Structure 1
């Protein structure tokens, strides 16, 4: 909870606004969401969020000057549902009077490094919609508030600007960056958060709070604090008003010297405080009274309760120019050897599960719209999407998908996602039944990545429904666990589809353990229509050819009509990659390594690696093996080279017949710790590309930023950690290329989850895959990042995919943009045993035609009865593509095949305000839409509420 201090406009020193707010009521690193709300595990962390609101509302009513700000809607929503109608009316009055102000307002305060922009938009929409419907315009936040995330992404600032926020405040930035900004009075700046959107569309006034999310030293008055209260009875021996005022004015004057205006902000509160709000407010009332009384003796300091929006308004009224920033705030370090770059990868299995859950949620939302009301109440029971929406929203928290929580908390997030998907599966089955006309039971197999699906393993005849959530057709390699040796596959038109049976690898058998028993995999390519499904029938072939056999030697090369990949016959490692269409070839070696995690016991620093912090004890990683044992499979559908580097590291290099990208499916774990060494495992791609220390990473899956080793754009870096200090978040892709050249080589790597990585040496790109650590990093988790499970008690095994493409920079985005979207939103497979009814509709598309390549259908979800929320985005930056970086026009009335669009209104990005009514402050840096047709410009997202039939 915070207070603001601002400088008096008529005097020089300070008009201090005290912000009273809950700063981290949802810091979920130690306990689960439920435990924090109820105060259930005070043995782990004293917390009881429900009591904070009870106490604060009571205290606000006792003094009309008092203010309070609230941040995360998920907790407030819980509290609100349990209040009487009279208490709800009281709270509405406090909101209308501006005494209870919502800031940020998302379902949670999301992480900024490891979240995908689509999931962030969804969670913000969920929280802001509740506030809008409950409190109207007075409940609409005007300030974004991220006081705890561990570094800040440019794309988040861009999204906040497009959501209508006037400003953005946060607490954490690199210690060197802060020192420089304090000297230059640039702790408040104008963040230009897009190089494609026309200013000021993505401009956001950004302020850095003076004490993170804590009060000034010596001014904490909560039941968990040790600072003495203000003792203002002069007859008492321990009267301390004069001392308090002296200390306070010293702090206020010191703070005023490093900010630009005669207004300053002081935050009053911290984690889980204000359970007994009387302690804070009673002392703050006294502080304000006695500081302001000094004005009679010539003091030029005025103190008042305030809120972030009031403070921001005073900054705007100052009519100053502001330093301009165009990069981001990664990586974050709070000391020379303390880089918070480990969490970019921490808990990689949870990060992947969150990404899959996002894909499943979008499919669930789309089918709820396309299938109509029967989707929610249909032949397979009652299904709903709201549980999944809330689970995904809270998973975006900065101690959730970030991986910076205790193990039992991570398990709770996964359980919530699983429960949400269970409800969505019923909805999906109902919708597909309505659209296909088939009431046959549908089976979901959620463990296909480890070749587990009981139906396909046992059935002699079944059908596969492939739903594609993208607004363009996709080709997808299906791999199904089977026990037969030959099968016949037919598409929706009855045409035979080429397929192959290959043996399940020993690595897959090891990772699935006793969860399946298939000895083979059936592989074939499917082609799915945009925003729709197609159906394939599969039957056992009694007299078909035998399965493809494996060869124990390394092939010289594998190739299709797009790519050629060569291998070193002596080591079994990749040796080159060629694009056969552009006739490009690069040297490419890929291998696996591990950094020895610091235990904190050295002369430089006592900081160990942990869930947040990455700190290797050497700049040179250990190679796991210089050679790989290999076996290969070559069929007309797919070619694989299976590599084994160690009992705990293996990989499949895979190229299917129609792929423009090379797939590397890695399996890592259990990481051995018998040597008492924590391990941070990477894969490194060493190439012949001359990168001149530059490389490129995405920001939350959208715009791409250029990075340079040992360099920061806004200050002179004193590098102290040559590895960890050069790691950045990779949310969906990274690439290396020759600088300033459009016709040279560009190697792009698409990831299937958020991971950390960097280019430590020229021509090299490394990505961290897995971490297992033996020490806590003393940042709040209070346990080592040492993941195990019931299935893997000896240590977690993680499997994932990297996709590699090689294209010239001028056209690379044309390939890797849709490639990345296809990984984020992947086809959903459902299965039906036996024969389908002859009247079953085997193919369906929800669109009249595929959208242009530059346009991505970001959101299609039911809003209310007869109302649908639609978001369309231009997915190319202005400089990326000669073909696709152009404006594109879409006719909304001609978009859908089964929905008649009766009316359309445009909203802001978070869908809590009509676009035409959105008004934002204009800040000065130091330096046509018709009823149905809408135009998208590069990187623009447009949000519409459609009235449909």
Structure 2
């Protein structure tokens, strides 16, 4: 078991609790898990009452405000009182049960408790009466989250539970009751974490209607065809969302009548109360295949006075079950989702299967929850960048042997919190979005301190003190005080990938005369370009003195770092300067780096043709920026477009350039060719071809979106090729599996669609592509953050970049999505797309590997260069690597983290799916001698979340229409040789023990 959480808990306990007398622990008989479940009565409708509170880790209020109960003017919600009250009521009656989900809140509460209270809680957990469901730090979103962050946030929650309570706290059921659509990859990850089932509350209204008619609200989800049985998951859609039945909310905030059961009193109402409940139960029970019915009794932030709930539930159970003596066939019982799942499993019936996902989600014909795929694009990008930095942070904590759990936790906590379904999704209030960003900033600061500490141990060759590193967090808008003000400096880049990388970097500088030396102290080619007007107008750059960008290529070893030296060049050498050529009216022009060519039309200035010169594949590729007007809320039943909902007023978007010839400047140099284009005063782009690279980079800058005409707007970029994709396109699921999408179609029900644009939008986490049905050609777009998109017409791909709206969409936020920058005007957002054209198999190899490289960019840091590079090289290492040789091209080191003294948590993943070419074959990695600093001596394979030995995993078996049952154990292999073999899409998790190589 990991010691990480124990150390964290001790640290925070010292800070938050007084010295308290320790209580002698009593030996408690453990009866948790399925063995402690009440399975109900045969031949009766068994109603499993699940007492729960859905506690958003931020939404209308910040995480702290929700925990303590501040800002009641926004929402009356206080998690600390919920847990206080629930524990008290559970102790009152051994029949009562309660489930809890969000470990980010529970962990806070736990650290504030006395030893005696902790003893009581542990007993409740061991008896199965307080049960943890899901077990992640939060209930993460499923559309806009990257699989790496999903795994990390669940691992944090699991480790807290495992370290604190042991096996009885291990969640067996996933509980995604509030996210707005459900991902196939998410279900696959849950199965690999060892869950037996998944329950959720939201699915498309048409889907639910059909499933109720056919009794298919519950199914076996075949979540990953690459992994077979091991990724299949029993899944159920809750009958009434996650709310109680109508009229039976007993929270003190609810207005429903309590059960008054004293016959001597005038307002005795037992018969009037239980009659409607029995009617509702019988109406719902016919929609399911078994005689078991899961009924959620709770809702958002309920049970702060748990007595009002439990007292009425006790009465409801008593009076309804009493009717069994008179022939009633309804049996009520306190239960949990896992006990309900176990009861359903024991019914041993045959289940239908599902192979697609649950996107997009609509709750009525005008309301598609597809806007949040793009909402708050800056926050989405910040979350992605922070996840990238977290990988580097953990690696250097390992290689520096820091054991700095406190600082690691600060970033882990912030990043995990940001995966919440009202965080990275962009569906929170503005003040809460700012709070998430501040938390990520504090986590980033903590990780920067780890990098500094690690480098001070790893880089010096002598006893010389390595200088403090400076980090620049605004390089995406060309702002870095260090590079702008220092005349000579070092740049150290750490590569978190298991493969060597080479790419180009752009640094803001105030002079156009520099020379750059590589780690071997040899000069390397550079290029200097002037900053464009679009960059200069970004208000967050206030204080910058940069006039240029310094561009050069870097090469970094796998899991290693390289240091580069940048010095002012006092000579008159101007070879690094770029040629800037304004494009005249009617003049056609082209970018061509020998691998890719892009032609631009002379009349309009717009892109018109894209070619892969190596494969001799060309397509007529037109590109434009357009906007939809967000539907206003005009009263009545009008559905507005806002944080959650995407609903354009007119399904035909307007071109931002309005047919005017684009202002274009062509730049050529020895590192990059680029075209800078102005589509409007608030939309610009740079199209770039770097030397030696086989794809185009498009950097777009959008904002402030004008609203002076009274209209909110949703900005898209459209790539219109000549490919015939027959209304079919492909998007990724959380950065892993690729899913086929078809316009105006759902695989499991006949679709009726009144929103032809919004209803055909899907989440794009890292990539989207279309294939020509007649030719072996594929056009791929890679993204740097989650976005919504579609292919509404043959050959087209459109992706939504930015949104600014003026009306609330009626889903709870209560304010329009109207983000502003530091200047109080609309927010300016900058991002990148990567465009690749090639044959299908080659395109697949590219997007699989390139998506990982985009996600795991090198981490940059700077320092003042106060000595000659030669002296620096004698004193400090300029290049270092942690592994003997690169990992196979189809393998990624997903996790490397301290997991106790001389123990590491390691995850390796195969990044290809089956039948994607030669790289789809199995790959083997030898861990014994992989790391140069360490010698791995043993390893133990775990489930994906790291909280159970894989050999101890025994999942429930289900019979399906395909005569399929889960095996008792999955993929348990011997490790005598310490060689790990991975099949396509497989992630394998290990706790390894190592010794240090001296």
Q: What range describes the TM-score normalised by the shorter chain of this pair?
A: over 0.9
2:925 aligned with 1:883: no
| 3-state SS of 2:747 partner | coil
Within the candidate set 435, 441, 446, 1:423 is matched to 446
| 1:934 partnered with 2:980 | yes
Computed over aligned residues only, the root mean square deviation of the Cα atoms, in angstroms, reads 1.5
1:788 alignment counterpart: 820
Asked whether the equivalents of residues 220 and 353 of structure 2 are also in contact (C-alpha less than 8 Å), the reply is: yes
Secondary structure of the corresponding residue to residue 599 of structure 1: coil
List aligned pairs for 1:360-509, cutoff 5 A.
360-373=389-402, 376=404, 384-437=407-460, 439-509=466-536
Deviations 1:295-315 (A, max 9, x none): 111111111001111110011
> For the residues of structure 2 that align with 1:296 and 1:513, how far apart are their CA atoms?
76
Look up the match of 2:965.
none
Residue 475 of structure 1: SS of its match in structure 2?
A: strand
Give 1:504-583 correspondences, 5 Å limit. Answer: 504-511=531-538, 512-546=540-574, 547-553=577-583, 556-583=589-616
Aligned residue for 2:18?
A: none
2:157 pairs with one of 123, 127, 137:
127
Deviation at 1:410, TM superposition (A): 0.3
Q: Which residue of 2 aligns with 1:752?
A: 784
**1:6 to partner: Cα distance:** 9.8
SS of 1:91's equivalent in the other structure is helix
SS in 1 for 2:199: strand
Decide whether the 8 Å contact of 2:139 with 2:421 is kept in 1.
yes
Q: Shift of residue 483 of structure 1?
A: 1.9
Contact 1:19 1:267 in 2 (8 A): yes
- Secondary structure of the corresponding residue to residue 884 of structure 2: coil
Aligned with 2:621: secondary structure? strand
Aligned to 2:11: none
Which range moved further: 391-400 or 926-935?
A: 926-935
Find the residue that maps to 2:920 and give its secondary structure. Answer: coil
Is there any run of 5+ residues in structure 2 with no aligned partner, and where? 1-35, 963-972
Whole-angstrom CA distance in 1 between matches of 2:140 and 2:701: 29
Quick one: which of 828, 849, 859 aligns to 1:818?
849
Deviation (angstroms), 1:433: 2.3
For the 8 Å contact 1:7–1:302, the answer to whether it is kept is no
Distance 1:659 1:925 in 2: 48
Partner of 2:628: 595
Q: In the alignment, which residue of structure 2 is the partner of 1:851?
A: 887
- Alpha carbons 2:640, 2:809 under 8 Å: kept: yes
Aligned equivalent of 1:16, options 28, 47, 51: 47
> Do structure 1's residue 774 and structure 2's residue 806 form an aligned pair?
yes
**Residues 258-269 of structure 1: pairs in structure 2 closer than 5 A:** 258-269=287-298
Q: Distance in 2 between matches of 1:792 and 1:744?
A: 49
2:214: which partner in 1?
184
Q: Which moved more, 1:508-517 or 1:358-367?
A: 508-517
Query: Is 2:477–2:541's contact at 8 Å kept on the other side of the alignment?
Result: no
The residue number in structure 1 matching 2:275 is: 246
Q: Deviations over 1:688-733 (max 9, x none)?
A: 0001010000000000000000000000000110000000000000
Deviation at 1:5, TM superposition (A): 13
Residue by residue over 1:606-648, the C-alpha shift from the partner in whole angstroms, topping out at 9 and shown as x without a partner, is: 1100100000011100100133211011011001100001111
Q: Do 1:633 and 1:640's aligned partners in 2 also have CA atoms closer than 8 Å?
A: yes
Q: Which residue of 2 aligns with 1:894?
A: 929
CA distance in 2, matches of 1:617, 1:929: 60
SS of the aligned residue for 1:565 comes to strand
More displaced 10-residue stretch of structure 1: 923-932 or 480-489: 923-932
**Measured at CA, do residues 515 and 189 of structure 1 come closer, stay the same or move farther in structure 2, by a change above 3 Å?**
farther
Residue 463 of structure 1 contacts residue 537 of structure 1 at CA under 8 Å; is this kept in 2? Answer: yes
Aligned length: 932
1:146 to 168, 176, 181: 176
For 1:169 and 1:794, the matched residues in 2 are separated by 42
Aligned-residue offset at 1:602:
8.4
**1:226 and 1:7, CA in 2 relative to 1: closer, same or farther beyond 3 A?**
farther
**Alignment partner, residue 350 of structure 1:** 379
Q: Deviations over 1:424-456 (max 9, x none)?
A: 101101112222116122111111111111221
- Contact 1:52-1:277 at 8 Å conserved across structures: yes
Q: Does the 8 Å CA contact 1:456/1:482 hold for their aligned counterparts?
A: yes
Name which of 215, 234, 255 aligns with 2:263.
234
Residue aligned with 1:749, SS = strand
2:663 is aligned with 1:640: no
In the aligned structure 1, how far is the partner of 2:850 from the partner of 2:598?
Answer: 19
Asked if 1:77 is matched to 2:111, the reply is no
Residue among 797, 800, 816 paired with 2:828? 797
Match of 1:860 in 2: 896
**Who is 1:379 aligned against?**
none
Q: CA deviation at 1:154?
A: 0.4
CA distance in 2, matches of 1:163, 1:559: 47
Aligned counterparts of 1:807 and 1:435: Cα–Cα separation in 2: 42
Which deviations, in whole Å up to 9, do the C-alpha atoms of 1:304-339 show, x marking residues without a partner?
Answer: 001111110011111111111010000000000000
**2:286 paired with 1:257:** yes
Rounded to whole Å, the distance in 1 between the matches of 2:594 and 2:454 is 38
1:699 aligns with 2:733: yes
Query: Are 2:87 and 1:53 aligned?
Result: no
**Structure 1: any 5+ residue segments left out of the alignment?**
377-381
CA contact (8 A) 1:7 1:301 kept: no
Note if 1:914 corresponds to 2:944.
Answer: no
The answer as to whether partners of 1:695 and 1:736 remain within 8 angstroms in 2 is yes
**What is the CA deviation profile of residues 160-205 of structure 1, one whole-angstrom value per residue up to 9, with x for unaligned ones?**
000000000000000000000000000000000002112x111000
Whether the 8 Å CA contact 1:660–1:805 is kept in 2: the answer is: yes
Q: Cα offset for 1:422?
A: 0.4
Distance 2:352 2:667 in 1: 58
Question: In terms of mean alpha carbon deviation, does 47-56 or 560-569 score higher?
Answer: 560-569
For residue 458 of structure 1, report the CA deviation from its aligned partner: 2.1
Give the distance between the partners of 2:573 and 2:429, measured in 1 at CA: 51
Preserved CA contact (<8 Å) 1:383 1:427: no
Task: Give the secondary structure class of the aligned counterpart of 1:806.
Answer: strand
Checking the alignment, whether the CA contact within 8 Å between 1:110 and 1:396 is kept in structure 2 is yes
Residue in 1 that maps onto 2:652: 620
1:653-668 matches, cutoff 5 A: 653-668=687-702
How much has 1:10 moved relative to structure 2? 2.1
Q: Which residue of 1 aligns with 2:744?
A: 710
Distance in 1 separating the partners of 2:449 and 2:814: 39
Matched position secondary structure for 1:659: coil
